[in-house]
């Protein structure tokens, strides 16, 4: 994820990756999401000590983003879910493809709270256990590819691959899918850079 962020940021921007010191290895349930939010929020002092220009929360449910934003203001804190939904909704009607059925309610809620909730066409899930699928890269690619083809109906203008750990897979299948794939990590980098620039004195 850090390498993808660095590529999106380009020369002259340093990406410093921090891993949560505890919490779920993979966020697949609402309980995992809440646990991750608490851990991310607890990292505020460590993040502040780095004096970043912006902060990215690289989990699709944006756990802890609001708490970090409150603690670190005026430094922009951008979630990859937030950024992907903004980018996709600007293109028109969009769908999400992901691996985590137990997070469907929170994904729907995030979209309902977005700028254009009427453009959200819903979420298509890959079949099977998410953790098992993540451990089998070839099967993951095939499952995501199939789900994207289901999601890409005639009215959908783009598809978000929902999940930080799915970033490499999203890149691998983007040429196979008949509509643009919105990649959350590069979109978060772009949004963060825009917000940093907007906050600078004229």
Residue 174 has pLDDT above 60, yes or no: yes
184 touches 162 (CB < 8 A): yes
pLDDT confidence of residue 43: 97
Q: Report residue 34's pLDDT band, with 50, 70 and 90 as the boundaries.
A: very high
**pLDDT tens column, 104-127:** 999 999 999 887 899 999 999 998
Residue 151 vs residues 4, 90, 105, 160, 179: alpha-carbon distances, Å = 25, 18, 18, 10, 10
Interval 142-157 mean pLDDT = 92
Residue 142 has pLDDT above 80, yes or no: yes
Residue 157 has pLDDT above 90, yes or no: yes
**pLDDT tens column, 68-102:** 999 999 999 999 999 999 999 999 999 999 999 99
Identify the structural domains of the chain with CATH numbers, from first to last: 2-79+186-199 (3.40.50), 81-184 (3.40.50.12500)
pLDDT confidence of residue 115: 79
Q: Report residue 139's pLDDT band, with 50, 70 and 90 as the boundaries.
A: very high
How far apart are alpha carbons 98 and 166 in whole angstroms? Answer: 8
pLDDT confidence of residue 201: 59
Rg (CA), the chain: 16
**Global confidence as pTM:** 0.92
Interval 9-38 mean pLDDT = 94
**pLDDT tens column, 46-65:** 999 999 999 999 999 999 99
């Amino acid at each position: 994820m850090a390498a993808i962020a660095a590529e999106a940021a380009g020369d002259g921007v340093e990406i410093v990756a921090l891993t949560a010191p505890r919490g779920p290895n993979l966020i697949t349930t609402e309980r995992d999401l809440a646990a991750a939010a608490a851990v991310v929020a607890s990292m505020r002092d460590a993040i502040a000590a780095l004096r970043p220009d912006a902060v990215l929360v690289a989990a699709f449910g944006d756990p802890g983003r609001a708490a970090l934003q409150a603690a670190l203001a005026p430094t922009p804190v951008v979630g990859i879910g937030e950024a992907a939904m903004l980018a996709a909704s600007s293109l028109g009607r969009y769908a999400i493809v992901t691996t985590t059925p137990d997070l469907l309610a929170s994904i729907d809620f995030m979209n309902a709270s977005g700028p254009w909730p009427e453009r959200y066409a819903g979420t298509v899930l890959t079949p099977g256990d998410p953790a098992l699928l993540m451990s089998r890269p070839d099967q993951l690619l095939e499952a995501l590819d199939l789900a994207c083809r289901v999601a890409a109906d005639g009215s959908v203008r783009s598809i978000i691959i929902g999940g930080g750990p799915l970033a490499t897979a999203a890149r691998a299948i983007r040429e196979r899918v008949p509509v643009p794939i919105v990649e959350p990590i590069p979109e978060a980098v772009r949004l963060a850079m825009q917000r940093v620039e907007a906050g600078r004195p004229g």
